[in-house]
Amino acid sequence: MKIITLNCGSSSVKYALFDMPSRKRLSYGIVQRVTLTGSFIEHYDAHNQKSTHRRECPTHAVAIALVMEFLTNPQAGGIKDLAEVNGFGHRVVHGGEKFTSAVVINDEVIRSVAEFSMLAPLHNPANLAGIRAAMQLAPDVPHVAIFDTAFLATMPPHAYIYALPYEWYEKYHIRRYGFHGTSHGYVSKRAAAFLGRKPAAVNLITLHIGNGVSITAVKDGAAYDHSMGFTPLEGAVMGTRCGDIDPAIPLYVMQQENLSSAEMESILNRNSGLLGITGKYVDRRDILAAMQAGDKRAVLSFEIECYRLRKYIGAYLAALGRVDAVVFTAGVGENSPRHRAKICEGLDGLGIKLAEDRNRQAVGGQEEMEINAPDSPVKVLVIPTNEELAFAEEVFSLVGKGRDNLY
Active site residues: 148
DSSP per position, 40-58: EEEEE-TT--EEEEE---S
Helices (H), 195-272: 248-257, 261-270
Query: How far is 400 from 362, CA to CA, in rounded Å?
Result: 34
Query: How far is 260 from 258, CA to CA, in rounded Å?
Result: 7
Query: How far is 383 from 179, CA to CA, in rounded Å?
Result: 18
Is residue 351 packed enough to be buried (19+ CB in 10 Å), middle (13-18) or exposed (0-12)? Answer: middle
CA atoms in the 13 A half-sphere facing the CB of 326 = 30
Task: Report the side by side order of strands in the sheet with 379-382.
Answer: 222-226, 213-219, 204-209, 325-329, 379-382, 369-370
**Which of 383, 406, 273, 391 is CA-nearest to residue 334?**
383
Angle of helix 124-137 relative to helix 107-115, nearest 10 degrees, comes to 160
